[in-house]
Amino acid sequence: MPIREINVKTWEEFEQEVRVLRAPKNRENMDPLPLFRGQENSDWPLHTTLDRTKQRGMLFAEYFRRISKIRPEIESFTDRKWKLPEYPAVQRDANEYDSFSLQMTSGRLPAYAYMAYLRHHGFPSPLLDWTRSSHIAAFFAFSKTFWGDVPPNKMASIFVLSGERFTERGSNMASIYRMGPYVRTHRRHFLQQSEYTVCLVYDSAWRFAQYDDVFERPNPSQGVFLKFNIPLAEGPKVLRLLDEYNLNSSSLFGTEEGLMETLAMREFAFGQPT
């Protein structure tokens, strides 16, 4: 289903659109909660960090083989342990349509916790991160604007994914699978109310697909996909409002660097009362 783009002029207009989206009468056949993703440039597509390595169309089994190979070094360095299925079993399932499709539809991605950990620490990942909070998505869309030096004609984007309860899928049909929030991984996952999606297609074996492959194909049962474009100049106002809700780098990352960025924003961008 083509993604629907909506240009709004103000943050308040976006919030009104979200209230309509969340209204009970509009949620009857949809998943319980929509997901949001903020991007600071409206020209950017929905790409995973694996997409950015030009490894597009990689077989799922091949990606699993690679992350399995590096696991001993990561475990030795971090003293963490991950229990992964054996590669031959994953390769067998990933070569068959029915069994792997059932796992994906049920949100049972092999090595999900390990893959989420790798994603949070910068390893190229097929997981696309979302949040259940429109405000947290807004923070990531506008986080670079707190000094207020932004071109007036530039737009940030907040994507919304709201899937059907019963989704049509099939072989040779790129589909988006929602993995859910329940995974033991980095604490930022919980601070940011994170969920992940993965885009896959089966063509004799399961491989990663592009999100555009879903949007370019007429298939209303895939759900509702919206892209709200908001003037980047709204950023300083939005960040000030979010900080009043304690949504800032300090609370969302839980690091000393995040604390320093938040304090700098308050002291130099917002200005504290004397």
pLDDT at 129: 93
In the chain, the DSSP E strands lie at 4-7, 35-39, 128-131, 155-162, 175-178, 194-202, 206-208, 224-231
Does pLDDT of 190 surpass 80?
yes
Distances, alpha carbon 220 to alpha carbons 149, 163, 169, 228, in Å: 40, 10, 11, 19
pLDDT digits (tens, 9 = 90+) for 201-234: 999 999 999 988 888 766 555 567 899 999 999 9
Q: For residue 30, what pLDDT band results from cuts at 50, 70 and 90?
A: low
Which of 42-46, 51-55, 260-264, 268-272 shows the lowest per-residue confidence on average (mean pLDDT)?
268-272
pLDDT at 165: 47
Average pLDDT of span 249-274 = 86
Identify whether 30 is part of a domain: yes
Identify whether 47 is part of a domain: yes
Identify whether 53 is part of a domain: yes
Q: How many domains does the chain have?
A: 1
pLDDT at 103: 86
Identify whether 273 is part of a domain: no
- 159 is in which domain, residue-wise? 4-236
Identify whether 157 is part of a domain: yes
Determine if the pTM surpasses 0.85.
Answer: yes
pLDDT at 174: 86
pLDDT at 166: 41
What amino acid occupies position 37? R
Which stretches within 26-183 are classed as H helix? 60-78, 87-94, 97-105, 112-120, 134-142
Q: For residue 17, what pLDDT band results from cuts at 50, 70 and 90?
A: very high
Higher pLDDT, 261 or 152: 261
Identify whether 246 is part of a domain: no
Displacement of CA 218 from its chain's centroid (Å): 23
Average pLDDT of span 251-257 = 93
CA dist., res. 162 & res. 223, Å (int): 6
Does pLDDT of 249 surpass 80?
yes
Identify whether 243 is part of a domain: no
Phi/psi at 119 (nearest 5 deg)? -60, -45
Higher pLDDT, 123 or 174: 123
pLDDT digits (tens, 9 = 90+) for 44-57: 989 999 998 878 88
Identify whether 139 is part of a domain: yes
Does pLDDT of 168 surpass 70?
no
**Cβ atoms within 10 A of the Cβ of 49, count?**
16
pLDDT digits (tens, 9 = 90+) for 128-147: 999 999 999 999 999 988 87
**Can you tell me which residue has the tokens 């030009």?**
54
Which of 77-81, 123-127, 185-189, 200-204 shows the lowest per-residue confidence on average (mean pLDDT)?
185-189
